[in-house]
Structure 1
């Protein structure tokens, strides 16, 4: 069975760590925090160095495999896709009006798309047909 360190109690329980910290003076807690932060930064640095060494070892291993198989790094990159970017659709222009109606000397135009304007709806409800106000080319 592994020997438990003095820190195991504090790492596993926040309440126990807090209780032990209350026994210390404030300057002692600050000193302990400083020591722990320096230990943490050393551990992080060692971990980063270890990761960099592993990365370099992997790069060397891959380069050896490439040389052994006669491939180049360009052979591993995906070939360019045909077509490239999708073409942007052209901006749609204004739709020419399909219907014209003159009411009390005022001209109303409608493309025939979307909701029927009130003026046209009243005109159609009065028994008139759409064909009667169609614009002839």
Structure 2
């Protein structure tokens, strides 16, 4: 219950600010970056396989905690960064809406894993690339 009480205001703050972060803006393809005392944020829009687009707001606190908020299939999810072998893995705070957002550089993928110990992770959006990095690639050609 405590995580829901904390998550709701945090999600509202992320979405209201239109924020995002966890890497410097130049590395991500930033659409809106905000920096304040003890935190930084940015919003990144991605285009995924099949043409689907998703916008992710990142928020990083100076003490190492980082979060991502994204909207998918009519629901907004707040995710917290977790250890990952490569890149950054964000896992939803709400186990019933257990989305996972994995990023490495300017790419990512969205998956779902049911709150069941026998469940297998299912990819929902694959091969997502930051729109700014796609634009930079076209300009270089």
Structure number with larger C-alpha Rg = 1
TM-score of the two chains, using structure 2 as the length reference: 0.20
TM-score of the two chains, using structure 1 as the length reference: 0.20
Of the two structures, which has the highest relative contact order with CA contacts closer than 8 Å and spacing of 6 or more? 2
**Which of the pair is proportionally richer in strand?**
2
